[in-house]
Structure 1
Amino acid sequence: MLCQSIPLYDRDKFKADMREYSAPKLEKNYNLDRYLAMSVVQKSIRRGELGLALTSGGYLLENFPQVFWKRLQIIALEDVGLANPALVEQVIDVASDTPSLVGCGGLEKVAAFLMEKLCFSQKDRSTDDLFDVMSRDPICANNCTTLIESRENGDLYVLDGDVFGRVLSIIPPGQREIVWDSYLRRADEWMMMMEGVEFNAPASIIALSSKASRRTRSMLAPMLLALSPEFPVSVQEADDFFLPEESYKGVPTWACGMHTRVGLAGLRQYAKHSPRVGKLLKQGKTGEVSTSKVLGGLLFRMECGQLQKRVDWFLGRSLKDRATELGWGVSDECVPDLLCTMKEEWNLLNACRLSALQDYLR
């Protein structure tokens, strides 16, 4: 049974807000494809670039509506999270019930309203940072193994009271060997574990995490719950530093990350044109993923994952720093030198991505 609590947002107020809202026309950028549009809309929301969010979101809504509404829910969980849980719940509820939106002025009006709210909200990426650390940090992997072994031996394993222990305590017993998939398997089992947590968490966040698990199947939902006991009552915000960008046909280079074909093409060009990066990769590459994805993971920490109006709190900072230090497809020891080199060669990296964009959109 879904944990019951008072909703974080006022549904009647949402309807009243929609009646008063004057929506901008959703101009569409038809130079985009599905995956490039998904990248632009999410990263423009991270940066508070409403115009780009509307043009890319409008294209998705017209051509891939199910993808658009699903992506909006993930953006709320991944990039807003505990900084504005009422907005997260609102996005998840509204995006899960699009037939009812006709009475609110139509899909385009509601889509524009939610994208604007997401753009200008305070933001926090700790859910994704925590997932990265839990799935890639060897210490966390060892803790998960200990939990599995204690269950098999019939021992009582006492979890530490930190965020990693809280995540481990939520994992359903039958899923601890396969837990680090991107999507929740058998979400009902996760929901039962979340609704029975023994650590101190707000009832509203328990309900939100449970609802998000059921509707999105995203691993970020339990991360939200595990983070909640340490999220401060009052917070400060700060904009991340944004590196220089280039643009072609309305598509900025910061949209060209590892989840797009054009982004991977640009990173392959960069690897070929940078002897320094080639040498570092030869020393530290593990072969788990391609060279372009190794660089894409590092690029995410430098540029693609940066936020406007990021909430500044201790656990969030420490998780971001810890995730940045972890390599994906490259040894952790090589990460600092690779990040430093990519920053020093930023003009070359941007030129390669711009060239890839020009070839792709020609």
Structure 2
Amino acid sequence: MDTTDRIDPFRNALLAAANDGRQFSLPDPLHISPWVAMSLLQKSVRRGSSNLAMRSAATLMRDAPDRLWRRLGGIAYEDVGLGCLQTVGMTAAALTGKRFRRSAGGDWAVASVVIDALVKARKSRATDDLYMTLEVLPSLVQKRKKLAAESNPRLRLIALTTPCLYVRALALLFLLGTDRPGGKFPARRGEPGLAFDLLDELGVAPTTLAICREGHRKTGEALPPLLALLALENGLREGTSDDPMPPEVMMGGVPSWAFDMFTREGKIALSRLLSTNAGIAEFARAMVSKAQWVGFLGQVLFRVEGGVLTRRVGGDLSDRLHAQLMFGTLGIEPGHAVQALDLMRGDIPLLNRIRRSVIGGMQDD
């Protein structure tokens, strides 16, 4: 049975859900840029906010439909992942193409079904926690350089024999290929087929492997194969919990947390925060170089606001990966990382006032 055959049940489930008699009315789009809409869509799914997720998706459907489908694929592998492979599979099926979506009732019907499933799904960010850790964990600097220079057969052997998840994941990524614009890994041409052959050899379940192969084929991202790797060590608990949610305010119908460092408005707000005597601003000025100030604040903000989840499902490995991301990858000592996160939580109300000023100024222009 090949990948197409194993994805067919998810396509059939999507077809059934999109043709169950419901009316899929397109909600009113928002007056925001595609970048803010993408941020709002992803964070609304993380927070379980169906209305905002649908309206941001409608905005992208109007202004940048290709970005909508790509972002939905990213959300599935980044924010749901091990929490609900059924939902990830359905999202992968939605990426099949326009002809398939027409047969399922059209783009908006398919998008509505997928977004509803993503919002309601149990969520795990373990895959993205692992990826971000592999990118920047200081203790892996030499290992990244060394593995990038290894041959494909050597990478396969290392992945099959190492007891270290980080080393196995790095070997997999270098087999996959890391020569992407703006990437943080040493650039190396890969052979994705060999990477998925390795996952098969490691024992990833065929349907999981098919979901992740299809995700990589459609998005070109590294998260799908890493999800397949983590599926070997699943161990998730049954229950879920909601992360603490920092204070929010609405700005023209958009919540403050949509304006992160990857939006123009959010980056300006972080720059202005740095010019204040806020605790996190003073901390950044004292702890990292000037060139890193805005990026550092953005990373801290992601950990306390942008990456928070409702219905988070944990497990021993997932919890360790999350703790490593939170406290070990900011480029400062873990104890200082704890302090930075606490300071940012306390300064969110000030940041929201700055965001409101930035948004108001842009609307007045």
TM-score, normalization: structure 1?
0.88
Letter paired with 2:273: Y
Structure 1 residue 151: Cα displacement: 5.1
Structure 1 residue 200: Cα displacement: 3.1
Is structure 2 residue 304 aligned with structure 1 residue 302? yes
Aligned residues: 359
**Corresponding residue for 1:131?**
131
Contact 1:147 1:157 in 2 (8 A): no
- Within 5 Å, which residues of 2 pair with 1:209-248? 209-232=212-235, 235-248=238-251
- Within 5 Å, which residues of 2 pair with 1:21-40? 21-40=21-40
TM-score, normalization: structure 2?
0.87
Separation (CA, whole Å) in 1 of partners of 2:182 and 2:145: 13
Is structure 2 residue 280 aligned with structure 1 residue 277? yes
**Corresponding residue for 2:347?**
345
Indicate the RMSD between aligned Cα atoms, in angstroms.
Answer: 3.1
Separation (CA, whole Å) in 1 of partners of 2:203 and 2:175: 21
Separation (CA, whole Å) in 2 of partners of 1:150 and 1:19: 50
Separation (CA, whole Å) in 1 of partners of 2:329 and 2:12: 46
Structure 1 residue 233: Cα displacement: 6.5
Match of 2:209 among 188, 206, 211: 206
Separation (CA, whole Å) in 1 of partners of 2:213 and 2:163: 21
Q: Which runs of 5+ in 1 are unaligned?
A: none
Letter paired with 2:241: A
* Percent of paired sites with the same residue: 25
**Corresponding residue for 2:319?**
317
The verdict on how the C-alpha distance between 1:320 and 1:179 changes in structure 2, with shifts beyond 3 A counting, is farther
Deviations 1:8-59 (A, max 9, x none): 8443332222111524422233321110011111110111101001111001
The verdict on how the C-alpha distance between 1:106 and 1:171 changes in structure 2, with shifts beyond 3 A counting, is closer
Separation (CA, whole Å) in 1 of partners of 2:30 and 2:263: 16
Deviations 1:317-362 (A, max 9, x none): 111111111455x534642222221122232122112222222344
Deviations 1:130-185 (A, max 9, x none): 01111111223333334356659x89757422421321332345957989927998
Is structure 2 residue 84 aligned with structure 1 residue 95? no
Separation (CA, whole Å) in 1 of partners of 2:139 and 2:266: 32
The verdict on how the C-alpha distance between 1:225 and 1:207 changes in structure 2, with shifts beyond 3 A counting, is same
Structure 1 residue 190: Cα displacement: 2.2
The verdict on how the C-alpha distance between 1:224 and 1:124 changes in structure 2, with shifts beyond 3 A counting, is same
Deviations 1:182-220 (A, max 9, x none): 799899712322223343322222222222222111111
Q: Which runs of 5+ in 2 are unaligned?
A: none
Which runs of at least 4 in structure 1 moved beyond 6 Å after TM superposition? Answer: 176-180, 182-188
**Corresponding residue for 1:47?**
47
